[in-house]
Amino acid sequence: MKRTMSRAARHPWFEIIRRQLPLALLTILIVALAVPAAMLVAPALTGQRPNPESTESAVPAWQQVPRDLSLPQGISPLKDSAPVPWPDTLAAQLDATLKTDGGGSFTGVVQDAATGQVLFDRDGAGGRVPASNMKLLTAAAALRAIGPDQRFSTTVVAGAEAGSVVLTGGGDVLLGAGESSRDAVMGHAGLATLAGLTVKSLQENGVKGPVQVRLDDSLFTGPALNPTWSPDDVAAGETAPLFPLALNSARYDPAVTTGPRPQDAAMAAAEAFSAQLTAAGAAAGLSVTAGVERAKAPESGRVLAEVQSATLRQQVDLMLQTSDNYLAEVLGRLAAVATGQPGSNDGATATVYQQVQDLGIPTDGLRVADVSGLSLGNQVSAGQLSEIVRAITSGTEHSLRAAIGGFPVAGLTGTLGSRYTDASTEGGAGLVRAKTGTLNFVIALSGYVVDADGRLLVFSFIGNGLEPGAAGNRTALDRTASALASCGCR
């Protein structure tokens, strides 16, 4: 039987609808999914207040707590059109927070990083004891004089006497006792690795033993302790006599960063190397004579083995994050050596002063008694520290950018990791990045922040003559830096 079609089925509009029906259904599905998404996006487009339990999309990226702690290579995002805070409005906010707890006084400077315009100035040219904020000058000086990608070698050189080897310090005081750890800064170069390479080289040269270990730590000269340091600070382990090689930044244990340190860190490292050489040599049938003596490596001595440190940028990062006094002093001496000066206290302080001057930063009143900040003889103004931070974050010398990642992050890393946790300061958590400084009657904070309008600000606040142990002084600094972070001061 022949099937017939109805009139409606034969109409051309019916055929169009039949063909387009799948597309129409798909469109309906897309619309159905898009509506909820639009409801989430709409507040950001319309300016409506978002649900506090929804997303962070209404908060600028630079004002959100970072999701990871990868080291920044620059400061971003920044907008050229971001408004600069009004000085009077900013001063009113900072004057309300920058108050001492008891005696003493605070000085301070805030600058627009892009232009250098001073937005806040409270005796910013006055010389102050800066405590560990001095390390910012040392970081900049070392990066300029040495270069951020430089590594320091610890070598074993064939001695003048048959069978003797000379462990020679090249500036690495972050040596580990075990195998080299490529992903670490502390322990990047290991004495066990150096010993294994030495045994292999001795075997290749037909040395049967016994082997005598010598130590050459002559890279540094002059007194091993800065004469302006308090003996009490040395006894407490704030620092130690300086040498061009050491284990764990002159600590007995890398995990224990307080308490007494080795008083001869170079010899301690040499004895640890001798022990590793004895163990490695025993497996190869090579004996090692007990005991280590000091002796200068022959200038023409053959290098038998070598291990290299982490890069200078990584060491600067560690120095700033942990405020390591010993490492800071070593980097100052290495900067001196790199510029042809003696690797001594005087060489280090003269080099840091000269490098600051060469950056174009006024040095009126600047006194550099040490390069770690332990000395009460240091005098640095808040304006000079603010200019150093500005040079690091946005200056013309890009080698200084290597220090950016070393600034502790408020509430998250380094010496700021346990701060910015109460209601009066938590607004700066994850946003303020600054170097701390603390002595008995001194407290300081210098760093940078991108404010609520997207403007990069650099700052330095220094308190001197303070009541020792007064908790309100640290809170005052943290509240002041938090005020900068939330500033839309117009």
> pLDDT for 95-129, tens place per residue?
999 999 999 999 999 999 999 999 999 999 999 99
Half-sphere CA count of 380, side-chain side, radius 13 A: 38
Q: In what order do the strands lie in the sheet with 456-464?
A: 118-122, 105-112, 456-464, 442-450, 433-439
For residue 91, give the CATH number of its domain: 3.40.710.10
How high is the pLDDT of residue 64?
Answer: 59
Is residue 275 domain-shared with residue 290, that is, in the same domain?
Answer: yes
| Residue 68 located in a structural domain | no
CB 444 within 8 A of CB 463: yes
Predicted local confidence at residue 75, as pLDDT:
55
Number of Cβ within 10 Å of residue 38's Cβ equals: 11
pLDDT for 205 equals: 87
Of 271, 292, 310, which residue is a domain's last?
310
Question: Residue 73 pLDDT more than 80?
Answer: no
Q: Tell me the HSE value of 39 on the side-chain side, using a 13 A CA sphere.
A: 7
Quick check: is 160 in a domain? yes
One domain, residues 124 and 99: yes
pLDDT, averaged across the chain? 87
Q: Does residue 62 carry a pLDDT above 60? A: no
Instruction: State how far the Cα of 261 lies from the Cα of 335, in Å rounded to an integer.
Output: 24
Catalytic (active-site) positions:
132, 135, 323
Phi and psi at 245, nearest 5°, equal -155, 145
Classify residue 44: in a domain, yes or no. no
Residue 17 lies in a domain: no
**Is residue 301 in a domain?**
yes
pLDDT value of residue 76: 54
Looking at the structure, do residues 302 and 342 belong to the same domain, yes or no?
no
Distance CA 105, CA 352 (A): 27
Binning pLDDT at 50, 70 and 90, where does residue 283 land? confident
Do 364 and 411 fall into the same domain?
yes
Percent of the residues in the chain that have a pLDDT greater than 70, as a whole number = 84
My answer on whether 158 and 247 are in the same domain is yes
Are 332 and 480 in a shared domain? yes
Domain match, 179 and 306 both: yes
417 is a domain residue: yes
Give the model's pLDDT for residue 413: 97
Residues 112 and 193 in one domain: no
Q: Count how many Cα atoms sit within 13 Å of the Cα of residue 60 in the half-sphere of its side chain.
A: 17
Instruction: Examine the domain organization and report whether 351 and 336 are in the same domain.
Output: yes
- 222 and 365 assigned to the same domain: no
pLDDT band for position 327 (50/70/90)? very high
Quick one: 341 and 377 in the same domain?
Answer: yes
267-273 long-range contacts (CB < 8 A, ≥24 apart) are 267/215, 267/292, 267/294, 269/167, 269/169, 269/175, 269/191, 269/245, 270/167, 270/213, 270/215, 270/245, 272/177, 272/191, 272/247, 273/167, 273/191, 273/194, 273/195, 273/213
Range name among 17-26, 166-175, 232-241 with the lowest pLDDT average: 17-26
| More confident call, 314 vs 36 | 314
Domain boundary residue, one of 265, 285, 310: 310
* Residue 13 counted as domain residue: no
Q: What's the full length of the chain, in residues?
A: 490
pLDDT over threshold 70, residue 50: no
Average pLDDT of the segment spanning 302-331: 98
Give the domain range for residue 445. Answer: 87-147+317-485
* pLDDT tens string 423-459: 999 999 999 999 999 999 999 999 999 999 999 999 9
Residues 348-362: pLDDT tens digits?
A: 999 999 999 999 999
- Whether residue 313 is predicted with pLDDT greater than 90 in this model: the reply is yes
Total domains in the chain come to 2
Spatial distance between the Cα atoms of 121 and 478, rounded to a whole number of angstroms: 18
The residue among 310, 325, 352 that closes a domain is: 310
Looking at the structure, tell me whether residues 326 and 457 fall in a common domain: yes
- Mean of pLDDT values over 19-29: 41
Is residue 39 very low, low, confident or very high in pLDDT (cuts 50, 70, 90)?
Answer: very low
Q: Does residue 446 lie within any of the structural domains? A: yes
Please determine, for residue 468, whether its predicted confidence score (pLDDT) is greater than 80: yes
